[in-house]
Structure 1
């Protein structure tokens, strides 16, 4: 009997051990093979290089911002992979194409088919992995999916209708791709959707009306697309917090909004009419940006006194009327921009910058009475004056339209003739086809190659063959620029740039610009100069100040010995990076995470200038006061690419600064000193490069860091994040150029530092909450 009980006990223990083993998160062998197959489809990214060492134990991986695998039972329920595909360029037969995409043998269809075998997947995030091609409708087979994020890839075409079958989906994020068809309007079945983000694509058409039926939505982001038409009534979206429709072409009146919305971003569209009185009843509203539209009449007075409003931007509209004794400001209102409108009278006391409040108020470009002076004469803000301008503008557009129709007719005639001559030109056609890179011909449908190139902002040698990959820049007349700057008056003078004088201006459409005036003192080739200026206009990147066009004064005088060139850039409103590091304005000083965001943005821009264009642009005058911040603190580099045209210009002495002239040609070295200023604050006047190099020695010890590093940095950074940036700074300012890192390495280190900082901040919040 004892033997029987003993054997029974052993059997029970064995059975319990087996049940324990089966209930641990050990993946089925098929699921392991699927993950390894996904790694193969993604062409073995470095992040997944050690997967073979886990022997199927993927469920127990330590999660990171770059990689996360979670399991339920023995199946994968969450897969998150964030790559680091950066912009590089390869040259095929004179064409520049992005090779940050996966290779020409990559198949997005095969990848999606493999993913759908993970049929219990609830979270799928594949970001910045170089995935390209049209997103297959087969994605709907992941019927359990609750989150889908495939941002920052190279998918194009339409967003497949089949996604609407993913009825459990609560987050759909496809930002930063090249989707270029109409925005989908099949959202009705997706009743659980809370976050919908399709920003930074090339989507066209109207705002999808089906969205108004998804009452669970909290975030809607369609910014930086090509959407047109009018917006529907959005009051049915009772849970909406964020509405981001910036940088589109909406041309209707402003829509009615739900009462609970907190952030509304509608800038850089063509919204017209009045600001609805209902906006002054949005008591939860914190951030409202209606800048760069065509809004008219006085704004609702209650807009300024909303209980939670902290940011209000009405800049560059046609708003009018007197604000005096009408406007009262809410206690939380910290930033107001009413500049470049038609306001008259005096400022309300709560918008008076001379008062004791710390509110930031911008009001230039109106007809306000400031002190004893009036900004502009009443005629500048007169309704009839604007009507005449609009009437004149309409006439111009009619003429342009007629000319456009004639051009289209001529193009059609030429096309018909081309068809009839096709046989004659067959040999030339075959020759031309061989000059197009095979990777584009074989992998992309007809017509997509040039669009991908244009949207990736890559300059191609194909322009020499007559193929423009980005639109040509605008040629301004001297009369336009003189009118926009009040004949280059002293009141519009901004100061001296790296080269040339800078003036603020306002175009007839209300857009603010910066005009750089350069002098030529020798004979030059106008044709060659125009080619170089057109090349400069093709340097397009989210972190570069936009180059809008140019004017060559007296270009018909080919034998002139003295003339002027005007470069026209977008106006960036929030000052330069150095000002945001200065102790002179403590309310504006950037904390460490914000400084990292600025540095990463500029590093991306310079990396693009080095590797994303042909020919590469170097000597980009990298200094903290050439880094500008917009109203959302997005960093943009100014004074870049001027080396492209300085060969045509007489040498102009660069303003003295703390770095030697000989070092200006080395962008990595210059960027090292930007990093250094971000660490220690602006360089003290009179202390230059030698001083900073000597101070770098102090970074080696904790006491030295406490002494030299900006206190704002020390109190807002993690030590690991700080150490990463100090290390890459040391490498950038190495005396030996061969020892300096590439900008790709610089960017990678800064992004890693930001991730470390974000993790540290998240852990501190968790500890504080507990």
Structure 2
């Protein structure tokens, strides 16, 4: 019995020692991997943990998870987007690891983490052919090696990694034939090989994997036939854009939500079966060779939101009984050969639906759909030549005349300058100034500093001008409720369209103070701010009521608000990720200017997607900014002794918090603003993995973004919506991160274009 107890103690001691040695071995592996990766900034925190890597706090760029003293999850994101330079005809990575890096040694070390289930090594500059030994990570469920410089062949032994659920190797340089051994990966749910140089045909072995939900093989060199995909009963996303596939369109599974097949060479008619895909939301078949008439039921699918059939050879007449689904927000049938009349639901563009139909022959009787005769063409050519010659002669004459005129004018200035009399400046100062005016003196003084020399004070409109502009504030000009008051669209006499905000004020309000604040707002000129043009105070004539009408006149921005351009709410605009980033950067610049570009800073700026307006070039303009200054005067806060700009720190953090929801809405759609903080807290964990993001991020974002760019924005969004105000970043940090994300995205887009060139 004594020996038995001794054996138990000895075995217990050996198990502790074995566990310790295992942990030590894992630690050595991680330390060695960091050296191979040449100490990227995302791993700087490892220096503070002496062997205890499992307790490192995760970040957007690095996370480690452990079970039973073994690493089961390793995620590292670097900052080395792939750029390529040519040297003696050979493509050399410009932002990769150094020439001493050995990919074989790196993976020899890596595969010693035998219990890894999740491995993500993104934008780390890893270069070389991917070693076959990666299959030794037999427990892997998620593998992501995107945005590196891996080339050659995708190792065939990956086919033995039967536990894989997601295989993502986007934006690399694999240039071999597309492998066709995927059917051995029976648990595979998502395959993403976008932005490589893979050749050959679509792998038919994928059709045997029942678990598949996502297939993304865009921006490659695939050609040939696309097989029947109806057997993939769980498929949600099919993204094969920018290839050379040239078959007829196959049957699709009824589960599909997104079909992206643009920029291929598909021919034949759009199958009638497409009109039975009741879950379909996004369909892009543009830039192919599809003919015939699109199936009428396609337009009335219950969930269809975005449909792009442009640049094909569709012909014939659409049924005049064709109906559109209630969620269909964007339809592009331009650049085809369609004739006849447009169905009523496609006849015009509205706030609910945008329709593009140019380049067809709808109800055309002129020469647009007819080829011009040779004689007409020659006549037009002759007219063009004559016009060019005449224009050049006219430009020469104007130039000579201009030189003569300028010399004459300069001579007159010199002679008249000797007798110039200085202008008399009117002194508007007064010995006595009201206490109310002094209370707002800082606003008026700042208004002067902001450009009184170059810009007039806020223009005063008459009520007659505004009534004429709005047809006496007719209901047809009403645009809705703003953050304060009602909004009307007006047309000034011999002038531009304007937006007019109308509200009621108590006659007890200090009009002088209010004018001082308006002068400040009218001086806030920034490319991304809606300009305040002027105001009008309507006292109502002989009306002795206790209120008066107050109108603010703004420039009119024609292209709607940003919320209407987000795909979940109105997918017709279909803003790509790069477009959304450009809009967000513009708004962030405007808010940063409001916070730091004026004294006192302008806070609590009604930041929400409804208040971001887009002009005809999709340049964002923030509206409703500075309304806190107006509201404070209306509510008479000065009566309580509170400063109009008190609590600036909290106000600034409030703007950051609200901008965080604009970022969130840009990522996932309008549900973010509808449910607010509750939604964010519920779904916050989903942003941590690619599988989670697939479930909640807008499909248009997922199919047009690079993972690195997306991760940067997810990280700054999470910080902005932090419940603790002190943890929220400054707007300068927000702007920097957005600009960095845009730079990363631009690099990824350029690489994809160069790959497909």
Using the size of structure 1 for normalisation, the TM-score is 0.53
- State how far apart, in whole Å, the 2-side matches of 1:669 and 1:330 are: 34
From 352, 361, 364, the counterpart of 2:358: 364
Deviation digits for residues 385-408 of structure 1, max 9, x if unmatched? Answer: 79x9xxxxxxxxxxxxxxxxxxxx
Q: Secondary structure at the match of 1:247?
A: coil
Deviation digits for residues 601-648 of structure 1, max 9, x if unmatched? Answer: xxxxxxxxxxxxxxxxxxxxxxxxxxxx984424369x9xxxxxxxxx
- State how far apart, in whole Å, the 1-side matches of 2:65 and 2:656 are: 44
Tell me the equivalent position of 1:41: 36
1:727 aligns with 2:732: yes
Residues 305 and 18 of structure 1: CA distance in aligned 2, closer, same or farther (over 3 Å): farther
- State how far apart, in whole Å, the 2-side matches of 1:299 and 1:137 are: 47
Tell me the equivalent position of 2:186: 191
Tell me the equivalent position of 2:329: 334
Tell me the equivalent position of 1:245: 240
Tell me the equivalent position of 1:69: 64
Deviation, structure 1 residue 247: 0.7
Deviation, structure 1 residue 353: 2.2
> Structure 1, unaligned stretches of length 5 or more?
1-10, 389-478, 489-516, 523-576, 595-628, 640-667, 733-743, 753-770
Residues 521 and 184 of structure 1: CA distance in aligned 2, closer, same or farther (over 3 Å): farther
Q: Secondary structure at the match of 1:216?
A: coil
Deviation, structure 1 residue 26: 9.9
Q: CA RMSD in A?
A: 5.3
Tell me the equivalent position of 2:683: none
Deviation, structure 1 residue 23: 12
Using the size of structure 2 for normalisation, the TM-score is 0.54
Deviation, structure 1 residue 309: 1.2
Deviation, structure 1 residue 230: 1.1
After superposition, residues 34-183 of structure 1 pair within 5 angstroms as: 34-86=29-81, 98-183=93-178
Does the CA contact (< 8 Å) of 2:336 and 2:360 recur in 1? yes
- State how far apart, in whole Å, the 1-side matches of 2:261 and 2:61 are: 32
Deviation, structure 1 residue 21: 8.1
From 203, 212, 224, the counterpart of 1:208: 203
After superposition, residues 373-384 of structure 1 pair within 5 angstroms as: 374=364, 377=366, 380=369
Residues 294 and 583 of structure 1: CA distance in aligned 2, closer, same or farther (over 3 Å): same
Does the CA contact (< 8 Å) of 1:27 and 1:57 recur in 2? no
1:221 aligns with 2:216: yes
Tell me the equivalent position of 1:633: 576
- State how far apart, in whole Å, the 2-side matches of 1:88 and 1:164 are: 30
Deviation digits for residues 297-354 of structure 1, max 9, x if unmatched? Answer: 1011110111211111111111112224241111221211111111222221222326
Tell me the equivalent position of 2:408: none
After superposition, residues 439-458 of structure 1 pair within 5 angstroms as: none
Does the CA contact (< 8 Å) of 1:207 and 1:228 recur in 2? yes
After superposition, residues 572-583 of structure 1 pair within 5 angstroms as: none
Q: Secondary structure at the match of 1:59?
A: helix
Deviation, structure 1 residue 113: 1.0
- State how far apart, in whole Å, the 1-side matches of 2:738 and 2:256 are: 41
> Structure 2, unaligned stretches of length 5 or more?
1-5, 386-390, 397-526, 532-555, 595-604, 630-644, 664-672, 677-715, 722-727, 746-757
- State how far apart, in whole Å, the 1-side matches of 2:294 and 2:578 are: 30
Does the CA contact (< 8 Å) of 2:567 and 2:575 recur in 1? no
Deviation digits for residues 516-574 of structure 1, max 9, x if unmatched? Answer: x999989xxxxxxxxxxxxxxxxxxxxxxxxxxxxxxxxxxxxxxxxxxxxxxxxxxxx
Residues 699 and 188 of structure 1: CA distance in aligned 2, closer, same or farther (over 3 Å): farther
With a CA cutoff of 8 Å and minimum separation of 6, indicate the structure with the bigger relative contact order. Answer: 2
Q: Secondary structure at the match of 2:182?
A: coil
Deviation digits for residues 480-519 of structure 1, max 9, x if unmatched? Answer: 9x99xx999xxxxxxxxxxxxxxxxxxxxxxxxxxxx999
- State how far apart, in whole Å, the 1-side matches of 2:66 and 2:169 are: 24
- State how far apart, in whole Å, the 1-side matches of 2:332 and 2:562 are: 16
Q: Secondary structure at the match of 2:292?
A: coil
Deviation digits for residues 721-758 of structure 1, max 9, x if unmatched? Answer: 3864622589x8xxxxxxxxxxx995179989xxxxxx
Q: Secondary structure at the match of 1:49?
A: helix
Residues 30 and 268 of structure 1: CA distance in aligned 2, closer, same or farther (over 3 Å): same
- State how far apart, in whole Å, the 2-side matches of 1:336 and 1:683 are: 20
